[in-house]
């Protein structure tokens, strides 16, 4: 087989374990043979639509079997898969489609309104030639199942090298524009190796895919390793506590990944005490540190976390804490994954002493080759020797275990979603009554962190918190809209005129909020 990338995985798995179940979606099982056939048919239709090696195919929608099929079909042709965050607003989606130059978009019915708004702007998206709807296609759109079923099942073997780009994953940029982090097939394969080293994944694994697949963690930390081992992935369209409990018990789930908000919701459910969780072997968390109290709650049920630290640009695993260390090293993100190197350094790049905060740098075969069509951002992030500057602050203990303590940048994580204040501030400044604005992340029991905006009105104008939020709703994803909005006269600043965000974070929360 000439396809050394992920596009060859369905054929290889179908040959090794043809009748084993690869996916369960909406209670329907899909065998590895069926996944291979459906993916091949879809790849032939993408080829008919003009997709060739290096071309981009985008997917927009909640978790679905079509996500995996579209990804593998794109890779079968040597194309680049662009999974988009379905929580984004239409202008954000349009920018990513234009920036990536995607020629095909596959989308779910939940995103019909965003796609309709984007399609109205088609003159600004000259590369987007084919739009495929999972359900109820609009005029000039194709119906996914019908289109796929008419595809040619003849095997496809396009030459693909491991260093070829497999994914473009958009991360919100600190300058207000998202950046497209490129991940090669090699990045994904090495990350999968790291998971198989750190977690005892088996061919009988039953993995619950409960976090969004457009995020690197759910895709690369659970679905791909499970597929490689020939296990079964149970795909949840969206997070629901009761549905999660039901699927764990029905399918005897052995492995799941989640963020703090998800694991906290399970504990807070009335079903927690009596739920049958006996099948679970591995719980894995990421996105933000799991609070120690939550870790203890699971330990009391005999369940431990494999925690880790990483980011989109590291595919994502950079460090990992194996289950055996989860009690002794509660709160740690672990040690460097097997084939990567991690340093914690001072501003002069010298190593920190144990307990001393410093910036996390990562080097290894799992590190991104750079950002799509953004050589300046690539040069800024990747320094000599291939070290990636994370922008995160951590400490190391005397055994080399990593503890994340802060961020160099102002980014915060709300319900597992990265939010960059500069992006929100950029939209706030578009409001005609806003003279100045600053956004910070503040603690929240439900979401981990939420946004708090400080707005200085222009002279002679009046604006209310509700008006600010109403202005943001059609322009930003819901999770990016600040829960708290303070209308203030001035913002604290340094002598050079920079806003003192630490001062803003220390202010008592206002009574006004929107939950």
Per 3-state DSSP, what percentage of the chain is helix, strand, and coil (rounded to 5)? Answer: 30, 25, 40
Q: Of 193, 211, 336, nearest to 265 (Cα)?
A: 211
The pLDDT value recorded for residue 339 is: 98
Q: What is the mean pLDDT of residues 404-420?
A: 80
Percent of the chain residues topping a pLDDT of 90:
76
pLDDT confidence of 176, banded at 50, 70, 90?
low
Question: Mean of the per-residue pLDDT values for the chain?
Answer: 92
Q: 1-15+29-161 belongs to which CATH class?
A: alpha beta
The pLDDT value recorded for residue 328 is: 87
- Strands (DSSP E) along 346-495, which ranges? 358-363, 370-371, 382-383, 387-396, 402-407, 412-414, 417-419, 434-444, 448-457, 484-487
Those residues whose C-beta lies under 8 Å from the C-beta of residue 30, and which sit 6 or more positions away, are 21, 22, 23, 24, 38, 65
User: What is the rounded CA–CA span in Å between residue 410 and residue 421?
Assistant: 7
pLDDT digits (tens, 9 = 90+) for 415-457: 988 787 878 888 898 898 998 899 999 999 889 999 999 999 9
The pLDDT value recorded for residue 297 is: 87
Bigger pLDDT: 177 vs 472: 472
pLDDT confidence of 515, banded at 50, 70, 90?
low
pLDDT digits (tens, 9 = 90+) for 46-99: 999 999 999 999 999 999 999 999 999 999 999 999 999 998 989 999 999 999
pLDDT confidence of 160, banded at 50, 70, 90?
very high
Q: Are 16 and 41 in contact (CB under 8 A)?
A: no
H-run or E-run covering 180: strand 179-184
The pLDDT value recorded for residue 175 is: 47
> Any idea what the Cα angle at residue 431 is, between residues 427 and 435, rounded to 5°?
100
Q: What is the mean pLDDT of residues 395-405?
A: 92
For residue 163 the two structure tokens come to: 């260093």
Q: How many C-beta atoms surround the C-beta of residue 404 within 10 A?
A: 18
Q: What is the pTM of this model?
A: 0.86
**CA 185 centroid distance within chain:** 17
User: What is the rounded CA–CA span in Å between residue 310 and residue 289?
Assistant: 11
The pLDDT value recorded for residue 174 is: 42
The pLDDT value recorded for residue 259 is: 83
The pLDDT value recorded for residue 406 is: 63
Q: 412-505 belongs to which CATH class?
A: alpha beta
The pLDDT value recorded for residue 134 is: 98
pLDDT digits (tens, 9 = 90+) for 320-377: 998 888 878 877 899 999 999 999 999 999 999 999 989 999 999 999 999 999 999 9
Q: Are 76 and 40 in contact (CB under 8 A)?
A: yes
Q: For the residues of 306-361, what is the DSSP string, one character each?
A: EEEEE-GGGSSEEEEE-GGGTTTTTT--BEE-TT-EEEEE-TTSPBPPTT--EEEE
User: 192 by DSSP, 3-state: which?
Assistant: helix
User: 173 by DSSP, 3-state: which?
Assistant: coil
pLDDT digits (tens, 9 = 90+) for 207-227: 999 999 999 999 999 999 999
Is the bond preceding 263 in cis, omega lying within 30 degrees of 0?
no
Instruction: Count the residues in the chain.
Output: 515
Tally of CA atoms within 13 A in the half-sphere of 211 that contains its CB: 28
Q: What is the mean pLDDT of residues 197-210?
A: 97
Q: Is 2.60.130.10 the CATH number for 185-409? A: no
pLDDT confidence of 124, banded at 50, 70, 90?
confident
Write out the residue limits of the CATH 3.30.300.30 domain(s) in the chain.
Answer: 412-505
The pLDDT value recorded for residue 456 is: 92
Write out the residue limits of the CATH 3.40.50.12780 domain(s) in the chain.
Answer: 1-15+29-161, 185-409
Those residues whose C-beta lies under 8 Å from the C-beta of residue 93, and which sit 6 or more positions away, are 60, 84, 114, 115, 118
Bigger pLDDT: 282 vs 422: 282
pLDDT digits (tens, 9 = 90+) for 304-316: 888 899 999 999 9
The pLDDT value recorded for residue 201 is: 97
The pLDDT value recorded for residue 305 is: 83
Q: Residue 269 pLDDT > 90, yes or no?
A: yes
Q: Residue 148 pLDDT > 90, yes or no?
A: yes
> Any idea what the Cα angle at residue 27 is, between residues 274 and 267, rounded to 5°?
25
């Amino acid at each position: 087989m000439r396809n050394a990338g992920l596009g060859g995985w369905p054929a290889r798995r179908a040959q090794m374990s043809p009748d084993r179940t690869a996916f369960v979606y909406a209670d329907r099982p899909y065998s590895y043979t069926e996944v291979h056939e459906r993916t091949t048919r879809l790849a032939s239709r993408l080829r008919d639509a003009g997709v060739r090696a290096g071309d981009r195919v985008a997917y927009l929608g909640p978790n679905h079997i079509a996500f995996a099929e579209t990804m593998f079909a794109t890779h079968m042709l040597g194309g680049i898969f662009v999974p988009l965050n379905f929580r984004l607003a239409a202008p954000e989606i349009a920018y990513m489609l234009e920036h990536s130059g995607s020629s095909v978009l596959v989308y779910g019915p939940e995103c019909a309104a965003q796609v309709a708004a984007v399609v109205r702007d088609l003159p600004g998206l000259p590369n987007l030639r084919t739009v495929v709807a999972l359900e109820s296609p609009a005029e000039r759109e194709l119906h996914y199942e019908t289109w796929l079923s008419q595809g040619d099942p003849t095997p496809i073997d396009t030459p693909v090298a491991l260093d070829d780009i497999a994914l473009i994953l958009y991360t919100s940029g600190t300058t207000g524009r998202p950046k497209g982090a490129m991940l090669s097939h090699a990045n994904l394969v090495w990350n999968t190796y790291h998971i198989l080293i750190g977690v005892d994944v088996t061919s009988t694994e039953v993995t619950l895919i409960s976090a969004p697949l457009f995020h690197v963690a759910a895709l690369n930390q659970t679905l791909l390793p499970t597929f490689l081992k020939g296990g079964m992935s149970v795909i949840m369209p969206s997070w629901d506590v009761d549905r999660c409990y039901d699927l764990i018990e029905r399918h005897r789930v052995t492995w799941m990944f989640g963020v703090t908000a998800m694991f906290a919701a399970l504990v807070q459910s009335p079903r927690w005490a009596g739920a049958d969780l006996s099948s679970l072997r591995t719980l894995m968390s990421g996105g933000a540190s799991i609070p120690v109290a939550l870790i203890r709650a699971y330990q009391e049920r005999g369940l431990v976390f494999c925690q880790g630290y990483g980011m989109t640009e590291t595919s994502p695993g950079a460090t990992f804490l194996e289950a055996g260390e989860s009690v002794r090293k509660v709160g740690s993100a672990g040690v460097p994954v097997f084939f990567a190197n991690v340093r914690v350094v001072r501003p002069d790049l010298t190593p920190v002493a144990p307990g001393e905060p410093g910036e996390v740098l990562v080097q290894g075969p799992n590190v991104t080759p750079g950002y799509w069509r953004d050589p300046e951002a690539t040069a800024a992030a990747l320094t000599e020797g291939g070290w990636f500057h994370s922008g995160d602050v951590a400490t190391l203990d005397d055994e080399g275990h990593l503890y994340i303590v802060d961020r160099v940048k102002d980014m915060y994580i709300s319900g597992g979603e990265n939010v960059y204040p500069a992006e929100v501030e950029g939209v706030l400044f578009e409001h005609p009554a806003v003279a100045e604005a600053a956004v910070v992340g503040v603690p929240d029991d439900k979401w981990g962190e939420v946004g708090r905006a400080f707005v200085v009105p222009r002279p002679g104008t009046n604006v209310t918190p509700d008006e600010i939020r109403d202005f943001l709703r059609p322009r930003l994803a819901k999770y990016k809209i600040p829960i708290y909005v303070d209308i203030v006269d001035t913002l604290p600043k340094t002598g050079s005129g920079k806003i003192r965000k630490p001062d803003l974070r220390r202010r008592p929360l206002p009574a006004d909020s929107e939950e």
